[in-house]
Structures are given as structure tokens and as C-alpha cells.
Structure 1
Amino acid sequence: MLDSHFKPLSWTRLRRGVPCYLPKAVVGARVGADSPALAVMTDFRRFAPATIARDAALDEANRLMTLCDVHYLLVGDEQRQLLGIVTEACTKGHRPLATAHAMGIRPGELVVGNVMINKHDDAEVVHLRDLEGAKVGQVVATLKQLGTPSCLVVEHDESDNHILCGAFFLHQIERQLGGESTTEEVAHTFSQVVNSLGR
């Protein structure tokens, strides 16, 4: 029970006739190549990514992406283990139709697990401990070396399991650097799809 000496905060009501707008998406503060690498990391410890179950219907995935204003969902199991990723390209258009045809089922019978991109499909990761003292320029150089516009960031728990704690997205870094393109187009893998469909 809270102590009785805490006083309530001042409060008011929204005024009728006065608009109340939804917040704009925050890109992040302007940075330079020598800025700390963590300044451009999407931190899942502060802003949890939208997730969905493997057996969820594609309509549910589309509804959740629209509701959360995102272009991808992380797929997890009951133990909160990362299984893969599902994107708008996975759930809409030609790809799900082709998957249903190949499986011999109707498109409406597809679930997320049928169309998601498996986590083992070229999932590049950086360890959080290696980012201490690292610079934004090093992040960009790493993404160029990997040939990918994004990569995941992990740390370890007491049992030495990987814990997903963030990600680097090149398109976001470019915006924070002032909009200059820093790499060429590359093929899509598990980690790349997150970025390419989030433009």
C-alpha cells in the first residue's frame, strides 16, 4: 500500500472543441559519424516491438500491423523465444497466394507460421557489449561489410541465452545523419526485410 503522504498530481480535462493529435513518429536526434552507436539503435528494452504468435491468422497479423503502424511483426512462442518475422509482403499480395497454392490450401487457411521468414535465414546480430564506446560510423561500416541494411542487437542472460534487445536500421541512421544514402541495394534476407519494408 502506498504511503498516504503522496499528493495527487494536478489534472484537467480535454477541452471540447480543441483538437488532440496523435504523436508523430520519432526518428531520433541528428547525429554524426562520431556519435555514440547507441544513439541510432532502436532499443527494444524501452520500446517493445510488436509480436504475434506463429498460429495467428494472416488477417490478425495485418490488423496488428495497421494498429501498431508498423510493417513487420516479430514471431514468438509461449516461452518468448524468437521464431522469425512476418512482414506485409508475407501477408499481402502474390506471396501468400503462391504459398497457399504450393501447400494445396485456401489462402484464408494460412497462418503466420506458413509465411513467416525463419530466424535462421541469415540473421546477422551484434552483441550489445561490443557497442560500448562504438561510433555511428562503425555501425554503418558493419552494415556495409555485411551487405545488409539492418541487423539485430542481442545481449546474454545468466544462462548465456541470446536476448533480443534492439536493432540497427540503415534507413533510420541515414535520416539521423541528414538523409544521405550510405549503401547500395542488396538482396533480402531475414534481417534485411525488416528495413526494406519499413521505408
Structure 2
Amino acid sequence: MSDHHYKPLPWTRLKRGVPCYLPKLAARTALDVTSPAIEAMTDFRRLAPVSISRDASLDEANRVMTLCKVHYLLVSDEQRQLLGVVTEAGTRGHRPLAAAHAMGIRPGELVVGNVMINKHDDAEVMHLKDVAGARVGNVVATLKALGTPSCLVVEHDDSDNHVLCGIFMLAQIEQRLGRDPQTEEIAHTFSQVVSSLGR
């Protein structure tokens, strides 16, 4: 339809000398175990996670994390396929030095793909269709049954591919339920690292 059918909206100009403030972040609503599960999910469809190429340098990864104020980046390819996750711990300190030594290269030659945690490293997932009709209590029970502090949420596209659409993080949910977050064990899997660093 042609845009000639639409009337322009009223507009004005900012007044000189009148402050214009950035918006305050909306406060998260309190949860209880009967709340819809979707309210406890970090929704990547509304707030896209920060991603980077596997061929990017570690310096670039560190700059992006600093700029975006995050502690991890999702690693994707040109087709936006999820490859893994890279964390601050993997790009700074002794870990990259150890990786470079093991590969027989200089630390400055390392790229994100050399230090990232692969997505196939035991990544647990829930399906969005199951989450849609569930309650927060179901999510907490699932995370505890899995023995993991987090779980990725995926849906399927028309070609039956997985599409990452969010993550549940137990510590974040417990906090919003008004409980003390449980002490977590050292994160070993892909989704545990995302959970422990992504708060």
C-alpha cells in the first residue's frame, strides 16, 4: 500500500535549555513459582546477545566485551549459526597463554576460535513450545533435575533448524523469587559458562 494514504504524525523540536534524559530501565516484575515461565527467560529475540566471529582477534573480543559491558560473547559464523561462546577468562590471563603454548604459536596469533567453548560441549536446551505453557516452578524443577545452573531455549524454523531464542538462569530466577541464589559449582559446560558469566 502506498504511503500517500497515511497522514504524518505531529512533531516538534527539542527546546533549548530543557534537559532530555535517557530512559530508565524498566524494573523487572517480581516472580513467583506460578508465573508464566516465559517471564523468567532472558529473551534473545528482544535483547539480542552480543556475538563475534571465530576469526576475530582476542584483542577485538576484549574490546567488544568492554564496550558492551558483558563478560561473554556468542560466537557465530556468516550464516549466523551458533558455534560457541568466548569468555573473559578465555581471552585474558593465563588461559590464552596456555592455549598458545599448546598450539606452538605466539599469543598474539590466537583468534576467538582457538579459545572458545564449543557449542557441542554438553549444551542442554529446552524448546520454546514447551516453555510457552509452563510455569516458573517447572523451569526451576527442570534446572535442578538437570543439575545445571542454566538452560538454553530454542525453537525451530521452517527448515527444522534450531534457533536460539533465550536462556534460563537459575541464580537470576532465584533472585527474582526473593530467594538466596544457590552456590554454584564451577561451570564446565557451554550453557553453564553462559549462565555464570551472563548475569
Name the TM-score, length of structure 1 as normaliser.
0.89
Q: Deviations over 1:45-100 (max 9, x none)?
A: 11111111010011111111122221111111111111101111111111111111
- Whether the aligned pair in 1 keeps the contact of 2:187 and 2:193 (CA below 8 Å) is no
- Whether the aligned pair in 2 keeps the contact of 1:27 and 1:172 (CA below 8 Å) is no
> In the alignment, is residue 35 of structure 1 matched against residue 17 of structure 2?
no
> In the alignment, is residue 180 of structure 1 matched against residue 163 of structure 2?
no
Which residue identity is paired with 1:100? Answer: A
Query: Which residue number in structure 1 is paired with residue 69 of structure 2?
Result: 69
Which residue identity is paired with 1:80? Answer: R
Query: Which residue number in structure 2 is paired with residue 121 of structure 1?
Result: 121
User: For 1:14 and 1:91, how far apart are their aligned partners in 2?
Assistant: 46
- Using the TM superposition, give the Cα deviation of residue 139 of structure 1 relative to its aligned residue in structure 2, in angstroms: 0.7
The 1:183/1:134 distance shift into structure 2, 3 A limit, reads farther
The 1:12/1:178 distance shift into structure 2, 3 A limit, reads farther
- Whether the aligned pair in 1 keeps the contact of 2:53 and 2:75 (CA below 8 Å) is yes
User: For 1:169 and 1:184, how far apart are their aligned partners in 2?
Assistant: 11
In structure 1, stretches of 5+ residues that fail to align are none
Q: Deviations over 1:136-189 (max 9, x none)?
A: 111111111111111110111121111111111122212221242246435421
- Whether the aligned pair in 2 keeps the contact of 1:43 and 1:165 (CA below 8 Å) is yes
* Other structure's SS at 2:64 match: helix
Query: Which residue number in structure 2 is paired with residue 110 of structure 1?
Result: 110
> In the alignment, is residue 52 of structure 1 matched against residue 52 of structure 2?
yes
- Whether the aligned pair in 1 keeps the contact of 2:187 and 2:196 (CA below 8 Å) is no
- Whether the aligned pair in 1 keeps the contact of 2:55 and 2:113 (CA below 8 Å) is yes
- Whether the aligned pair in 2 keeps the contact of 1:75 and 1:85 (CA below 8 Å) is yes
Name the TM-score, length of structure 2 as normaliser.
0.89
User: For 2:182 and 2:152, how far apart are their aligned partners in 1?
Assistant: 19
User: For 1:72 and 1:97, how far apart are their aligned partners in 2?
Assistant: 19
- Whether the aligned pair in 1 keeps the contact of 2:172 and 2:181 (CA below 8 Å) is no
Query: Which residue number in structure 1 is paired with residue 164 of structure 2?
Result: 164
- Aligned residue-pair number: 198
Query: Which residue number in structure 1 is paired with residue 87 of structure 2?
Result: 87
The 1:52/1:23 distance shift into structure 2, 3 A limit, reads farther
Query: Which residue number in structure 1 is paired with residue 9 of structure 2?
Result: 8
The 1:33/1:105 distance shift into structure 2, 3 A limit, reads same
Query: Which residue number in structure 1 is paired with residue 78 of structure 2?
Result: 78
Query: Which residue number in structure 1 is paired with residue 151 of structure 2?
Result: 151
User: For 1:40 and 1:119, how far apart are their aligned partners in 2?
Assistant: 23
- Which is worse superposed, 96-105 or 183-192? 183-192
* Other structure's SS at 2:141 match: helix
- Whether the aligned pair in 2 keeps the contact of 1:35 and 1:136 (CA below 8 Å) is yes
Which residue identity is paired with 1:7? Answer: P
* Other structure's SS at 1:3 match: helix
In structure 2, stretches of 5+ residues that fail to align are none
User: For 1:179 and 1:60, how far apart are their aligned partners in 2?
Assistant: 38
Query: Which residue number in structure 2 is paired with residue 130 of structure 1?
Result: 130
